[in-house]
């Protein structure tokens, strides 16, 4: 994914997050449940801000 499209796509779905960051869905759900990954619900859709994803990924090793 190009830098320009990343900037335009500020929010990701679980599927997009899983593919882009090579995380399995169960890991994403665990991070959500533990409060390590902030998310926003819009109806049935769960979205993640790229800033929150980056924060979670970069601090992942420190929490484990």
The pLDDT tens digits for 10-20 are 999 999 999 99
Using the predicted structure, report yes or no on whether residue 64 has a pLDDT greater than 50. no
Q: What is the pTM of this model?
A: 0.75
The pLDDT of residue 47 is 97
Give whole-number Cα distances, 41 to 5, 32, 44, 60, in Å. Answer: 23, 12, 7, 23
Question: What pLDDT, in 10s, does the model give residues 25-48?
Answer: 999 999 999 999 999 999 999 999
Per-residue model confidence (pLDDT) at position 57: 87
């Amino acid at each position: 994914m190009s830098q320009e499209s990343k900037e335009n796509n500020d929010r990701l779905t679980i599927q997009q997050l899983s593919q882009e960051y090579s995380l399995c869905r169960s890991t994403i759900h665990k991070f959500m449940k533990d409060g390590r990954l902030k998310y926003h619900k819009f109806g049935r859709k769960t979205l993640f801000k790229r800033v929150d994803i980056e924060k979670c990924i970069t601090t992942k090793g420190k929490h484990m």
